Structure 1
């Protein structure tokens, strides 16, 4: 990976971290005279909680962080820190959420709850009446299908006692201050982490259709599990989004001398559709007079059919390798801003016009790896994985096409 690409990835992710915006907004917050509780949930929750302790002057009566395994960076004063499973909920997530609900049992109208939410909380923050094994199987089926994140979270809300506005009800009558780092398209608040603290906009007919579409066989008790639509104790501030990620990418690419275009900042469709768009752009813009950068941000969907290891970004990158062999000076970078793509330690991968020949010389059959959905192991052998480690942010994925 050349130095330009390395610097583009680092800059765009670092500028998308929540601490910068959170510092600005926290300076203007006013609290009641009662107790203050801080709950931080999601992949960026450790950094968000740490930022709170550095900015606010009011005593924190209790703080809790729930984040993904290996995503915390040490002790935070006045906070209990829990790590749990993602993207599939596990027992540690259920236990940690119970700890949060113990905090909310005896709140009064003079108390404040500062709720710091980032992507990943749909798996990390869960209280449910559903058997854990059953809950895990439903989530696995949804994630491995071609369901988009809105469909997945619509079902998750019905499985949960804290999603779909229900956690805000647990906090009543305290004042709830939401600070949300968005990882969803159009920043639809009730879809971010399945909307635990905002009014829900989904309805029963959607649940019925999704249940049928993906053969989930959900019982009536889950389909009929209502969400919350009339919250009035909540103040919400959006502190970051996928649009911000796109603009950060544009800034750094422009500084690097690329003529830069944000093509789409709301990708929310099959990887096959984005593949076609990337190939068309690459072939139609060869040998430019100036270096070109084309930016897509959002989230592709993919139905996993093989038994290999990979993620949607790695799979898309590898899929483009064969076509790219006929191009010149062309590179594709596919990255998850949170540092994890699928159940791997990679944020994504990159390929260029030399990747296919490199694979051939190493005796690697790219088609076989793709058919088995084993992009991680192929890119690892090619030394073309992108590994950032946990980034302490989560504003969705980006796909960067560089030409020249």
Structure 2
């Protein structure tokens, strides 16, 4: 991991903390903790399965961590796993033996994802009630499994997705729309197969709502066509989305399309949705590592939401309070938060929510000595960039001025990436193989 901090001690400390968080949510280890085989007995969480009852065991899935999840499942099931297919973001593949790994685009879906989703649905549909289907889900699954509903094209979904991602809508709101434009999301994957379904889920969603993670392909969906229409109107996107999207949602609202399977449906009696990891585990691991390093850790939240600039103001206020009064915790301190921030895109720059938060935080802590704020995407990619995040300190504003950079201007353009690249303040990890939202750290020494 490369961290753009000049002080070797602080650079090593940040690496130690972030790597501790990643280790705690390693997807392969999470699968091994929750799936155990003892001969013909298979334990998944608290449920038991007799493998003699199943003719075939197959695995499908999608998400940035799904390949590593697949590797661990192969190890747990051995020769009982006869095949499978998972879809990962480009660059996030891992070496599997039985499960085929396909790469596709994220966050805007592409034709590779569409073809993979069609193959995945066909495989699930070919199974029988005597088969067992594992579904491996992690962050990114929604974009990686584009299966447009009848009458819609991939281009329609791409345009709608781009507009939603730039609008400032929450992931729950975005997925409400995407679910109602899809043939696979919102419980429809479970409905497509007669097999017994066991989903292993690594959460990248605040509150771990199973219907939101990957748009819940094996979970009941409480949202409706009406709510999908309301989201587009709330963010003034109704006239901007393709005509076929509007028509499809309106027809669904009139009852012309069957809605997604709802809570209480008999369908889900043969579905086990097993959560295997989340952001809270990463946050707690960072806190333990901070304490071991001699810092006083304080977990602020593992459910941080809202605009990135707003979170930056909160972190800045805490940093100033620590500097002036030693509250809420005295130096050496480590304030930790996890969650998923949003950015309402108004400019045409390049960046991501973690870099945007760090950029805004630089203004808030300007002049404070021995204070650093780091923002890090646990999947190793922040927005459409090749970095995981960025780190700033009390001297970042001064360094930027000497380099001819204007932070306020970069924020207006949503252009954090080139700013941090010029200052060498990025955090670069490459694909981490996991995805549980973001980590935000404030260190005061």
Distance 2:380 2:234 in 1: 31
Distance 1:35 1:141 in 2: 41
Matches within 5 A, 1:223-302: 223=250, 224=252, 225=257, 226-229=259-262, 230=265, 231-286=268-323, 288=326, 290-302=331-343
Contact map agreement 2:367 2:395 (CA 8 A) in 1: no
Counterpart residue number, 2:189: 167
Q: Secondary structure at the match of 1:150?
A: helix
Distance 2:337 2:77 in 1: 36
Contact map agreement 2:128 2:195 (CA 8 A) in 1: yes
Q: Secondary structure at the match of 1:61?
A: strand
1:40 aligns with one of 61, 68, 75 = 61
1:89 aligns with one of 94, 103, 109 = 109
**Deviation for aligned residue 1:162:** 0.2
**Deviation for aligned residue 1:371:** 1.8
* CA shift digits 1:329-388 (9 cap, x unpaired): 100000110111000011110101121111122222222222211101110111110111
2:197 aligns with one of 157, 168, 176 = 176
**Deviation for aligned residue 1:58:** 4.1
1:112 aligns with one of 126, 132, 137 = 132
Distance 2:312 2:404 in 1: 25
Distance 1:221 1:321 in 2: 45
Counterpart residue number, 1:147: 169
Distance 1:43 1:247 in 2: 22
* CA shift digits 1:69-113 (9 cap, x unpaired): 011133x21222110010011100000111112212221111000
Distance 2:143 2:135 in 1: 17
Q: TM-score, normalised by structure 1?
A: 0.96
Q: Secondary structure at the match of 2:169?
A: coil
The range that moved more, 246-255 or 41-50, is 246-255
**Deviation for aligned residue 1:403:** 0.8
* CA shift digits 1:233-289 (9 cap, x unpaired): 201110001111211111111111111111111112122321221111011101645
Distance 2:231 2:404 in 1: 42
Counterpart residue number, 1:221: 248
Matches within 5 A, 1:196-207: 196-207=217-228
Distance 1:207 1:73 in 2: 35
Q: Secondary structure at the match of 1:80?
A: strand
* CA shift digits 1:47-75 (9 cap, x unpaired): 0001111121342221112000011133x
Contact map agreement 1:111 1:175 (CA 8 A) in 2: yes
Counterpart residue number, 1:361: 402
The range that moved more, 76-85 or 286-295, is 286-295
**Deviation for aligned residue 1:220:** 4.0
Q: TM-score, normalised by structure 2?
A: 0.88
**Deviation for aligned residue 1:44:** 0.1
Distance 1:163 1:366 in 2: 40
Q: Secondary structure at the match of 1:57?
A: helix
Counterpart residue number, 2:358: 317
Distance 1:227 1:11 in 2: 39
The range that moved more, 207-216 or 157-166, is 207-216
Structure 2: gaps of 5 or more residues: 6-10, 37-42, 239-244
* CA shift digits 1:98-148 (9 cap, x unpaired): 111221222111100011100100100121131122211100000001100
1:22 aligns with one of 5, 27, 31 = 31
The range that moved more, 207-216 or 314-323, is 207-216
Counterpart residue number, 2:39: none
Distance 1:16 1:272 in 2: 27
